[in-house]
Structure 1
Amino acid sequence: MVLGRNALWAGAVWCLASSAYADRASDGQLNLYYWQAPSILNPYLSGGSKDIEAASLILEPLVRYDETGAMVPWLVDDIPTLENGGVSSDLTTVTWRLTEGLLWSDGSPLTSEDIKFTWEYCTADGGGCAQFEKFGGITAIETPDAQTAVVRFEGPKPFPYSAFVGGLAPILQKAQFADCLGPRAPECSAENFAPIGTGPFVVEDFRPNDVVQLSANPNYRDPDKPAFANVLIKGGGNASTAGSAVLETGEFDYGWNLQLSPEVLTRMEAAGKGQVVSAFGTVVERIVLNLTDPSSTLGNERSTTAHPHPFLYDPAVREALSLAIDRQLLVEIGYGSAGRVTCNVLPAPAIYVSTANDACMTQDIAAAQALLEAAGWIDSDGDGVRDKDGVALRLQFQTSTNAVRQDFQVLIKQWWAEIGIDTQLRNIDASVFFGGDPGSPDTFQKFFADVQMFAGSFDGTDPEAYMSSWRCDKIPAPDNQWQGSNISRFCSADYDMLADTMRRTGAMQERAALAKTMNDALVGAFVLLPLVDRGRVSAHANSLGGVRINTWDTELWNAADWVRKDGN
């Protein structure tokens, strides 16, 4: 679904009404609790949601997705289509026309050169762009005038709305990032920590993995917005601390990613200071298996494709790990009504959902044990751990520090012990685990462990770019600053061919069939183990108006419309 700018604003009646009593910077400070603190404010150098969320207050795409999944123009007046002539009849070009008069926060004009530069930045060799797949198939961008960018594709591109659409693919200012191409990208600390944007806020101070302080953008395109003069994004603590600060004590206005048990959230909400908001989208809690060897003895070749994993190369071991898990119990103890069992890495929209993997919904310890026996993994020395050819099934299982995830780890360790697999548990501070620092050994992209657990999703309602993230060329490695999206190090020429075919396919039913086939290839090979289809759960103070929780973009997508309610 595509909405024009007039339809968008006409439909947002509440937001229009709210701006009538909220002038720019008249509502004081907005306090956000992102307990997974941002580590960088450039979403092209991080795959972590916390970084993408924070950056979305500053950097903006040409088009966003609203809370219904509809595309809405943001920095353009209209979304190009075949009908309005913005998409060529042969589907090889899409023409974007910027809204007149848009300014960067430093007062300089936003132009088509910035659009072209953003593509050049993300596709530069050695840059390690985390959103590289968003720009797949683009061969050139022409800028016939300051307001117009013509994107050319290598062939017909039936869905041309990946680049510059959604919170993952915003526009960067060419003047600021011109000297940050390729390998220099992660070295540009000043630029990555304080990007100049077109969004409602500008960076005043940023302390990575701690606090972000922002102020209202004086050059924002709407003279009445944002209503808040300042924004504080606080990191640290945990989901419980964040939930309590919003729902019980009222110290904060918004608490993100409240990964807490239903009972805890209900108790907190009863204090009457705020309300829990949630919605289902594409978030899947999953276990990812490392197909490469994470041994520290390998030095710079650790967790690279130079060395296969000593036992996860065996599909029987991978399948046994999946069979041993009771996903329904995980949902019950971790999420209640905000979660549901899934056997797919692609859980939505409904047209893309496969039923081929539904067997994972039933735990089967006996089948897992039999599978390992048949594959020659036996307990040869009676220590309770299976082995084969001198290799024992001992693994390290890491995830971010989080009460729900630690509960999951304990249960999963127990189930894996029942099938003869010894598990060492490790948890890492979420700000570090999901950070984009290529020098840190503890990021989920580095994956210096055997298996790890985290949630992943995609923005918008079309999964083309998301499913392309498991291509061979998306594997994290030293030469791409460890920023690849293919965390499991899975590589299949057949899979890559499916991704290429989807890029050229327009018919919805055919696209759906391709997406299901790719999902089944990943899940069927047990390179990742989907666990829970998670609803996004956050909370906001009763005094905060304008929040429209969004699972298709960032949760802060419409922060320019947030206001302090009268009488609070």
Structure 2
Amino acid sequence: MLDRSNLSAAQDELRAGQIGRRDFIRRAAALGLSASAIAGALAACGGTSTATVPATSGAASTAPSVAPSTAPAGGAATAGTTGAATRTAAASSTASSGGGVAAVPSGGPTKRGGGGNLKILQWQAPTVLNIHFSSGTKDDLVCRIVYEPLVTLDSQANYIPILAAEIPTRENGGLGADGKSVTYKLKKDVKWSDGKPFTADDVIFTWQYVTDKATASTNIANFSTIDTIDRIDDHTVKVNFKDVTPGWYISFGGTDGCIIPKHIFEADKGANAKNSQNNLKPVGTGPYKVADFKPGDAVSFVINENYREPNKPFFDRVDVKGGGDAPSAARAVLQTGDYDYAWNLQVEDTILQSLSQGSKATVQFEGGGGIERLLVNFTDPNKETDGERASLKNPHPFQTDQKVRQAYSLLSDRDSIVKAIYGRTGEAAGNILYDPPQVKSPNSKAEFSPEKANALLDEAGWKKGGDGIREKGGVKMSITLLTTVNGVRQKTQQILKDAYEKAGIKTELRSVDSGVFFSSDTGNPDTAAHFYADLEMYTNYNVLPDPQEYMAGFTGGDQIPQKANQWSGTNYTRWSSPDFDKLYTQAKTELDPQKRNQLFIQMNDLVVNQYVHIPLVNRKTVFARSNALQNINYTLWDVQYWNIANWTKG
């Protein structure tokens, strides 16, 4: 049975910014949630700014597109080059095999060592150094300094081979024509930090270790699509999936796909795994190895002398210090200069601006913070049938009319919300799907026009009465806008209320504690899933490079929360579209990347242009760094230290 108290606790921590979305996925998987259920639980968590960053080690990558199962020939990275990759164009199914391979310089330091100490302030301190037991982004970050995956993705969702020798494609024989297998060729010059060789056995063992239920790994969901792995030779493995899997890279890609050494962990697999001392003393293939670790406080790294790139890394030592809070971390980089880098700065922009005055450091704003949006209820939250409000049996008295929903959008002054509240930490949003870039729709626009909104409402038959409130057939146009208790959201609510009431829509503002709003308590009427309001507002986002699970939250059927399923679905609006469901079903098995991307774009357009979700603000991820630090390449699909081998200081 699902432990709902532990799930609720994890949701609360995600909302409060105490854990990141990657961390939440792990914990939810450990509790036994399926991938779709995890996506739903994330959707209920409304947004938290978490830094799941970088991507591209100064090198370009080789990826085709979001679901590159028919991608062109991938280029092999130069042997022994972290992140150095060859870029292949996003090719159509008619692309010739053996497509263009252009070597790209890897960038970064020209010689190993000599860079002194790199000082990082990570105000949430790490507690474990085994990536497959990570309890949060705080652990992911430091584990990624030691451990490496087979592939990762850059900010444009292009692939970068890390421990893989090349990116698997249809043309080079790496991707199965049926979409049910991927063959990885591994780099041959890689050693673990203790000098032992990295081989196919380590890849196979990692899968066996993580999927052993007794191990209780937090990454089990990412590997659950794998049926078997064949060992072709010392440096080749064939991964066989249980079903067609366009997202073939997820298991061994990014931080969660890091490989661990069989010769170190073999004795600890299963019930003994969590208590292994090796969880605190990692042996990895990355540029650094651990010199000292104080769980919950600090960790120090020195150069891994067995690292495969002789000219890297640059720094002699990396010190990561935990403790404090986001404002103090910002101050330590921006004002005092005691540290070189600070992660996850959930700080008001006015404070960041003040600290940045005359600073020798920079605040960096990147994508991935999530889309703050309005959800429109298609059912009546005030009418009860069989002990259930917002029932599918009771359509909303006026919000099922697209002209009314469009009026809400036209009355939502996104630019004013950004300028007055978010500042540099957000921008006006027109889509609900922004990442990766290949699935961002060019077909939508965020328009503010009270004139058009009023005209639409008039056209729909909603006329202003003597009290200034619109009515039709004896029904007053009166709504409730619900969100969480949060200064930014209360200010946003007020801007929306002012515009709505000028248009004749009486608007009541309600806010509840985030622990209530985002809880899975079936008996609490104030949860986002119950949606006992006309509009509700929070942040949601695409967690993985493949948007399939994210878009599941807009499908009908069991995804619609209702009493019968204990409000467990994630389609809170109760909107049901056969056209959307058809597109979603097609995308699940479409192997052509360009066709699949277009399906996701069409899904986005249906949701946005039918005003089911009204996107307001595309939020940013925020961190600070010394101006002297170079080659820090952010990506949404890996953690911020992913390419620390390339970091230098001028």
* Code of the aligned partner of 1:423: L
Matches within 5 A, 1:284-299: 284-287=370-373, 289=375
Relative to the length of structure 1, the TM-score reads: 0.68
Corresponding position of 1:276: 363
- The change in CA–CA distance for 1:384 and 1:291 in structure 2 (over 3 A counts) is closer
Aligned match of 1:185: none
* Structure-2 residue corresponding to 1:517: 602
Matched, 1:394 2:480: yes
Contact 2:206 2:260 in 1 (8 A): yes
Q: Distance in 2 between matches of 1:560 and 1:97?
A: 22
Counterpart residue number, 2:113: 20
Q: Residue 17 of structure 1: SS of its match in structure 2? A: coil
| Pairs within 5 Å for 1:18-167 | 19-22=112-115, 27=117, 29-33=119-123, 56=144, 60-67=148-155, 69-99=157-187, 103=192, 110-115=202-207, 118=210, 138=225, 140-144=227-231, 148-153=236-241, 160-167=248-255
SS in 2 for 1:499: helix
- What is the CA-CA distance between 1:397 and the residue it aligns to? 0.8
Distance 1:484 1:177 in 2: 35
* Superposition pairs of residues 151-300 of structure 1, within 5 angstroms: 151-153=239-241, 160-167=248-255, 169-170=257-258, 178=270, 198=284, 204=293, 213-216=298-301, 222=307, 227-234=316-323, 236-237=325-326, 241-258=328-345, 265-279=352-366, 281=367, 284-287=370-373, 289=375
- The residue matched to 1:151 in structure 2 has which SS? strand
**C-alpha contact 2:210 2:217 (8 A) present in aligned 1:** no
Q: 1:328: Cα distance to partner? A: 1.7
Which secondary structure state, in structure 2, belongs to the residue aligned with residue 286 of structure 1? strand
Structure 1: gaps spanning 5 or more residues: 182-187
**SS state at 2:624 partner:** strand
Deviation by residue 1:502-552 (Cα, 9 ceiling, x = unmatched) = 243344542332121111232234443212344544320235444223345
Distance 1:157 1:276, change over 3 A: same
**Aligned counterparts of 1:159 and 1:21: Cα–Cα separation in 2:** 40
Give the number of the structure whose alpha-carbon radius of gyration is greater: 2
Aligned twin of 2:24: none
1:557 aligns with 2:642: yes
Q: Contact between 2:156 and 2:436, CA under 8 Å: does it hold in 1?
A: no
**Unaligned residue ranges in structure 2 (runs of 5+):** 1-60, 63-74, 85-103
Q: Distance in 2 between matches of 1:481 and 1:256?
A: 38
Distance 1:163 1:139, change over 3 A: closer
CA change 1:38–1:290 in 2 (3 A) is: farther
Identity of aligned residues (%): 25
Q: Contact between 1:488 and 1:527, CA under 8 Å: does it hold in 2?
A: yes
Check conservation: 1:284, 1:531, Cα contact below 8 A.
no
Q: Is the 8 A contact 1:445 1:484 kept in 2?
A: no
- Cα 1:500/1:51, change in 2 over 3 Å: farther
> Is the aligned partner of 1:330 residue 2:417?
yes
| SS at 2:606 equivalent | helix
What do residues 403-448 of structure 1 show as CA deviations (whole Å, max 9, x unaligned)? 655543443354455521211235659xx999x9999x9x999898
Residue of structure 2 in register with 1:361 after alignment:
447
**Residues 465-504 of structure 1 correspond to what in structure 2 (within 5 A)?**
466-468=550-552, 470=554, 494-504=579-589
CA drift at 1:327: 0.9
Cα distance between partner residues in 2 of 1:493 and 1:180: 48
**Is the CA contact 1:274–1:542 (under 8 Å) kept in the aligned structure 2?**
yes
Evaluate the alpha carbon distance shift between residue 556 and residue 304 of structure 1 in structure 2; reply closer, same or farther with a 3 A threshold. farther
Is the contact between residue 377 and residue 572 of structure 2 (CA under 8 Å) also seen in structure 1?
A: no
**Residues 270-323 of structure 1, C-alpha deviation per residue, up to 9 Å, x if partnerless?**
3223023344x5654222538699x9xx9xx99999999988985667555433
> Structure 2 counterpart of 1:162, which letter?
I
Shift of 1:500: 3.4
Please list the CA deviations of residues 333-380 of structure 1 after superposition, one character each: whole Å capped at 9, or x if unmatched.
Answer: 34557754331122356653434432x422438737964995989999
Whether contact under 8 Å (1:106, 1:219) holds in the other structure is no
Is the alpha carbon distance of 1:60 and 1:501 closer, same or farther for their aligned partners in structure 2, counting shifts above 3 Å? farther
1:111 counterpart SS class = helix
Task: Write the mapping of 1:289-328 to structure 2, written as runs, cut at 5 A.
Answer: 289=375, 314=400, 319=406, 321-328=408-415
Aligned residues of 1:91 and 1:157 also touching (Cα < 8 A) = yes
Quick one: which amino acid aligns to residue 182 of structure 2? V
- Aligned pair count reads 526
Moved more, 387-396 or 302-311: 302-311
- TM (norm. structure 2) is 0.61
Question: Following the alignment from structure 1 to structure 2, what is the Cα–Cα distance between the partners of residues 14 and 147?
Answer: 26
RMSD: 5.9
Written as runs of structure 1 = structure 2, the 5 A alignment for 1:410-489 is 410-416=494-500, 418=502, 419-426=505-512, 428=514, 451-454=536-539, 456-458=541-543, 460=545, 463-464=547-548, 466-468=550-552, 470=554
Q: What CA distance in whole angstroms lies between the structure 2 residues aligned with 1:302 and 1:232?
A: 51
Query: Is residue 278–residue 549 contact of structure 1 (8 Å, CA) maintained in 2?
Result: no
SS in 2 for 1:19: coil
Report how far residue 142 of structure 1 moved.
2.2
Q: Secondary structure at the match of 1:522?
A: helix
> Is the partner of 2:430 in helix, strand or coil?
coil
Give the conservation status (yes or no) of the 8 Å contact 1:45–1:483.
no
Contact 2:481 2:493 in 1 (8 A): no
1:408 aligned onto 2:496: no
Distance change >3 Å, CA 106–CA 231, structure 1 → 2: farther
